[in-house]
Amino acid sequence: MKPEPGARGGENYAQFQLRLLARHRSFVTDWLATAADLIMLGGLGLGISGRRNTGAATLTGGFVLAAIAHLFQPGTLRDELAAIAKHPLWSVRAETHRVRNKVRAR
């Protein structure tokens, strides 16, 4: 597989996504991270709709919950933050795909 544009160090999106999924193997981490992603999505919607303070607080709460979620699977918090910093758009894409699959599986 050829790396997608924006890849660093020869990593492609499929490899990035597999590493993200590996950071969500714990049942608690997976479900708390999913809830956190949905909360952050709500915060984004509130901010866009003009309720900026409420949106910012909701977004922050979602981020904190996501950080807490990774404490249930030791060693993943630092990797998650590094991945977000390295590929922010890929992170959003991979998380969206993960959450969509989880919601559809229900």
> What is the model's pLDDT at position 29?
93
Reference 96, options 49, 43, 31, 37; nearest CA is: 37
Q: Per-residue pLDDT for 33 more than 60?
A: yes
Average pLDDT of the segment spanning 16-31:
92
Residues of the chain with pLDDT > 70, as a percent, come to: 91
pLDDT-derived band of residue 8, with 50, 70 and 90 as boundaries? Answer: low
pTM: 0.80
> What is the model's pLDDT at position 6?
45
Dist. CA 99–CA 11, nearest whole Å: 22
> What is the model's pLDDT at position 9?
64
> What is the model's pLDDT at position 85?
92
Average pLDDT of the segment spanning 7-29:
86
Q: Which residues, at least 6 apart from 47, have a Cβ–Cβ distance to it below 8 Å?
A: 55, 56, 59
- Rama region for 75: left / alpha / beta (φ>0; ψ in -120 to 50; rest): left
Q: Per-residue pLDDT for 41 more than 80?
A: yes
